[in-house]
Amino acid sequence: MVRPIGFLVGLGFVGVLLWSLLWGAIAYVSEPPAPTAEHAFHKHPKHEVAFSFTGPFGKFDQGQLQRGFKVYKEVCAACHSLRLVSFRDLQNIGFTEGQVKTIASEWAIETPSINPETGEPATRKSIPADRFPSPFANEVAARAANAGALPPDLSLMTKARHDGTNYVYSLLTGYVDQKGYKNEKGEELLKAFPDAKTGEGLHFNPYFANLNLAMAPPLTGNDQVTFDDGTKSTVPQMAQDVAAFLTWTAEPKLENRHSVGLGVIIFLLFFTVLTWMAYQNIWRDKKGH
């Protein structure tokens, strides 16, 4: 008796599910959702920059990573943390041990600590073993300093966003004037969606999900950062370099992964050839039977 009842209950659940799916499909076809400004005017990341680390044989350009770190240090670090990266990790992008010690000790934000005599919270100069300290004491302080918006941690940003490297580059170079902005179809944003006007304290950027950012354009002009290797620091160059640096923070073992992947492919090809030769040798005398 229990089995028939259980079968009927399950059948009822399936029927309700199928009915809801059918009704939802009918409603979607008969009354499709109204288009939104985000859907009609959001842009996909640009692909105008060829990064050295893309592709199966890609490798990081250490000079570019060092330039990108300098952009992060002088432009981004005032608001954005890098909490999953240690100062000593910078040795992996070409900085010497002495340079890393200097960078850590001279970092603008000191590392949180405890006063050994009083037990009270304190700060101290950073050492290479420390991770990059957050520019804010906590989330409340971060929001208070940024008009209620919380600056995200950048350690894994290029992994957290689709096409992350190009997304970061596009976002940093994508600030435009909203007035008169048109999409690829030639439609003007504020004529199609008058209510989509960017509010006070926000900044229009078609590469951001909802088109409006609390962050003002961080890269404001050429020569904002002086690169040690003499590279001209234009806005696209700075955006490209910091996008590469943030790709490294998210995937510091990318080159090793590429090397291992290449080795695995070679092994599988070699193993496939050996297997085929063994098959031919074993069954050579038995094909006629």
pLDDT digit string (tens) for 216-245? 999 999 999 999 999 999 999 999 999 999
Question: What's the whole-number mean pLDDT along residues 74-85?
Answer: 96
| pTM of model > 0.75 | yes
288 band by pLDDT with thresholds 50, 70 and 90:
low
Domain 37-82+153-251 fold is Cytochrome Bc1 Complex; Chain D, domain 2 (1.10.760)
- Residue from 129, 91, 130 nearest 252 by CA: 91
Question: What's the whole-number mean pLDDT along residues 137-141?
Answer: 94
Domain residue spans in the chain?
37-82+153-251, 258-282
Structure tokens at 232: 């001209």
Residue 281 has pLDDT above 90, yes or no: no
Residue 289 has pLDDT above 60, yes or no: no
The CA angle 109-72-234, to the nearest 5 degrees, is 140
According to the model, what pLDDT value does residue 264 have? Answer: 84
**CB-neighbour burial class of residue 37 (10 A; exposed 0-12, middle 13-18, buried 19+):** buried
- pLDDT cut 70: percent of the chain above it: 94
